[in-house]
Structure formats: C-alpha cells, structure tokens
Amino acid sequence: MQRIILHVFLSVFFFSVSSFQAMAQETTISTPGPQTITGVHTSITFAEGAGGTYTFNEVETDVLTVDAGVDILIELTGGNGKNTIGKITNNGTVFLKGNTFLPELDDQHVTNNAFLTDSTASIKVVNGVAPVISGLIEGSEVHNDSVATFAHVLVVGQQQLDPNIIQPIELPETLTLICQRKNILWWYDIDTLYIPVMNRIVSVEHEVKRAGQYRYRTIAEYENARTEIISNTAEVKMSYDVTLPEVEGVTTDPEAGTHIVPDGGNFKFYLSLDPKYSLSEPFVTTSKSDTLEVDWNGYYTLEAVTDSVTIFIDGIALDNPSSNTGIATDDLIIHGGQGQIEIYTPEATRLKILTFDGITRRNIRLTAGNHRIALPAGIYLLQTDRKTVKVVVK
C-alpha cells in the first residue's frame, strides 16, 4: 500500500513540473495590437511589425525586450502585483500603464536606450542611455504651520565605468519633476519643477500647504532618449489647534481647552447649559468669522480645519440678570465686567466690537435676549444697528 501511494504522488509531482515547463515559452510579437497576453513566458520580444496596445493579464516573463523602431503601449491588468516582469530592455518607445507589476529587484533590471515611460510606479532604477535612479523620498510632520515640506533625491547621468579612463559624464539635457498629490483614489498634478542638472545627484525640497500623500513624476531627457518614472510616496502630516472657550454656565464635550485636529479634519462638540442659564440662546462663532449651527443631534461641527481656530460661545447669561449697573440706551443694556461684557437687546441686532485704536475684535449678529461675550481687559467701542457705546472690561 505504501509503495502505491508513493508512486502516485511522484507521478503527480513530475507531471506538474513538466506542465509548468511546457507552459513557459519564448514569445515574439511582430503583429500590431490590440492583443492580450497571458501566462508564463521565458521571454517576450516586441519585434518589427509590433505596435499599438497590448494587455498583460497575469503575465510572468523573465525577459521583456522592445526592439528599435517599435512603439507600443502595455496595459497591465488583473490587479496590483499580478504581473511579473524580469529584465526589461527597451530600444524603442514603450509606455507602461495600469496596475503595478513585480520587477526584479536589482540595479540592472531596466535598460532604456530610447523612450520609456512607466506610469505604474513600479520602476525605480533605470540604466542604459537614459539612466535615472529615484532615490530617497521623505515626508514631514508639522503642527500649527501652514507649510510643510518633503524631500526627494535623484541620481541621473551615466556612471564612470572605468576609473582609469577619464570620460565626461553625460547628464540629462533637462530634468522635470511633476509633484503629485493623492486624492482618495487618484493622483493629480499640483506643481512642475524644471531642475538645472549640474551633477549626478539631485536633491529637491518641496513646500506644500496640505497634508496627504505626495510623489514625483520624474522626466529625464537626454540627447536621443527619454525616461519617465514615478518615485515612492512621501507622507506629509499637518495638524492644528482648535480652542474651545471656558464659559460660565456652559459645559462642552469635549471639555474646554485646546484640541489637536488633523489637516482637513472636522471638529465636533456638544454644548449644554447649566440650570441657571437654561434660557440662554448660545451663539457660536469662530476666529475665522464663521457661524456654527447646532445639528439635529445637538452637535456643533467645525468642518475642514486648515488653520488654528478659536471658537467663541456667546449669548450666555443668567436667567434673571441684574441690570442696575448697566448702561441703558433705548432699551439696550450693556454691562462692562470682569473679563466680559453682558448685553441685553430687545431685538436682533448686529454688534461690532472695536478696540479704541480701531481694531475689530468681534463682528457678530445677536438675537433678541441676553448675551455674554468674553473679552480681554481694555476699553472698547460697541456698535449696534442704533448706537455706539463705550465699555470698560476689567
């Protein structure tokens, strides 16, 4: 019984190996596309007569060669990493697009002697007549700063092969870096840099104003050849302070204080009134002159934070405020107090608060009723739709 089982296993094993070897083949394509190529190959050569579009669907090949005079587009499908391409030698014009592919991980993987574009972001090192090495790319992290940076290092130009022979290093005639930012699923161009090439090592630092993922499309143009590849991705992180005030009679969730919000993120908070202030009508604004409205769940939301923001909560007063120390102006009552002013207005009005040297501190719309507004100590001019009143805050 044991011999029979072993015999069957070995038969299946050898059959599988022979089937795999039979599938692998040297493939030469000399007819125009569109064509779809699948399966395992020892080599794929695009020879004279080839041209147009070719789809690679789960292709595995040790060698890919494009002959001189051939102009093709290869679209890789089946999913990222589902195609494996070994050594690439290009003597024609080739454009790679679609899913990423698995290349050989060595410095001699790609040789470009003509025109090569890789938009799949799979190739990082190119040799031949138009060499480029997409090297280190680093992101950064900043807080309360409207500008962040990321850096990229490139190596271009042909290497000195024999140290005993002095030869001029051939550098690209032009080097173009197109900065891209990822927006959910897609990359889009945000800036273009034209770099003067003085030596083989090129270092670039780029300033950006939004957090996210960034990369470069690198285009190196030589006298009779051109290489375009895409760098790795750099992560830029940015965050900002959002400050909730501490207001008498109000409890917030999260609590009053400074909170860190990532760039482009939302800040949501809940506001509840203490029992003695239950008749107040909160009026919530920001240092960016925005008015925040409460939603049906009772939350206020500051959307898409791209800078430091202070939130103001006004309109808070005791249910039965004393008015015997106020300044009455046509039924408008204003108190100057300790770190704040209290206002009673019988009707809705626009309120503008200015310092004595003319700087506007607040410009808000008040509903009819009682309001409390926090202010630093000083002398202020309060302008309503009817009157201008001077108030001292201690």
The H or E element containing residue 316 is none
Mean pLDDT (whole number) for 157-176: 63
Mean pLDDT (whole number) for 150-174: 66
11 has a pLDDT exceeding 50: no
Q: Strands of 222-308 (E only): list them.
A: 226-230, 234-244, 250-253, 257-262, 267-273, 283-286, 291-292, 299-302
Instruction: Indicate the pairing of strand 299-302 with strand 291-292.
Output: unpaired
In the numeric block, which tokens belong to residue 271? 């506001």
Looking at residue 94, what is its pLDDT?
97
Instruction: Indicate the pairing of strand 140-143 with strand 234-244.
Output: parallel
Looking at residue 344, what is its pLDDT?
83
Mean pLDDT (whole number) for 181-194: 90
CATH code matching the domain that covers 22-160+169-237, chosen among 2.60.40.1930, 3.65.10.10, 2.60.220.10, 2.40.128.20:
2.60.40.1930
Looking at residue 105, what is its pLDDT?
54
8 has a pLDDT exceeding 60: no
The H or E element containing residue 352 is strand 349-355
Q: Is 215 exposed, middle or buried (0-12, 13-18, 19+ CB in 10 A)?
A: buried
Give the position of tokens 């002697």.
Answer: 113
Domain boundaries, the chain: 22-160+169-237, 240-393
Positive or negative, the CA dihedral 79, 116, 132, 174 is negative
326 has a pLDDT exceeding 50: no
Sequence-separated (6 or more) residues with CB below 8 Å from residue 12: none
Rounded distance, CA 173 to CA 372, Å?
Answer: 67
Label residue 17 by pLDDT band (50, 70, 90): very low
Label residue 347 by pLDDT band (50, 70, 90): confident
* 372/210: higher pLDDT: 210
Sequence-separated (6 or more) residues with CB below 8 Å from residue 379: 355, 356, 390, 391, 392, 393
Query: What Å distances lie between residue 146 and 208, 281, 349, CA to CA?
Result: 8, 35, 35
Ranking 55-59, 318-322, 331-335, 376-380 by mean pLDDT, the lowest is 318-322
Looking at residue 135, what is its pLDDT?
79
Complete DSSP assignment for 212-227: EEEEEEEEEE-SS-EE
Share of the chain above pLDDT 90, in %: 41
